[in-house]
Chains A and B, each alone.
Chain A
């Protein structure tokens, strides 16, 4: 198995632009998580899905952030409009079930100028 696949690996954009991050979870995993890593807050859970349904989005910082999981093999995290303070590494992770160990992708390094 190729593991959790994220794209792009790096994204540089200007303030105000829309950013879309993509994730393909491990086949057969029922739960998908989006985390953000910053120096100040460490690994911060943004939102997670179980069986393609959003379960908890309380970590999403603002309405500018949205996430979807249209099917079991694909999820997106969108930021619109982006701001410099959104600059961080965004990780997608999947697990067989919620509460079980997570398998992380390599992350997307986002820089908003």
Chain B
């Protein structure tokens, strides 16, 4: 049973526009959420995170929004650039900070010229 769900396997966005990647989770004990980015033939790399005490965290062009009541988070990339084409994984871990990180299946983002 997938505790972290990314329901869109792929997404295409025009360069310069906003990319929005969505993620849902089922475990209400999750309180720390992360996004990872993965290029082909490389390992995933950390992008941005958010704690459940916040509803927004911003880092340059990347913003993560958390809606705890809906158990939903999203990653916004604005403006989208060609180098943003990659697979994006949503991940979550539990309350005690000693819990393992669970990943979603990933969303492949294509930035169109």
Contacts and interface: CB of A to CB of B under 8 A. Distances in A.
B105 interface: yes
A56 interface: yes
Contact of B103 (A43, A97, A103): A43
Interface residues of A, number: 24
Given A42-B89, A42-B106, A43-B103, A91 B44 contact: yes
A102 B34 CA distance: 10
Contacts of B59: none
Indicate the size class of the contact surface on chain B.
20 to 34
Given A98-B98, A99-B99, A42 B104 contact: yes
A105 B44 CA distance: 8
Contacts of A42: 6, 89, 103-106
Nearest to B32: A99
A91 to B, nearest CB: 6
A99 B105 contact: no
Contacts of A104: 36, 43-45
Interface of B: 6, 32, 34, 36, 41-46, 49, 89, 93-94, 96-106
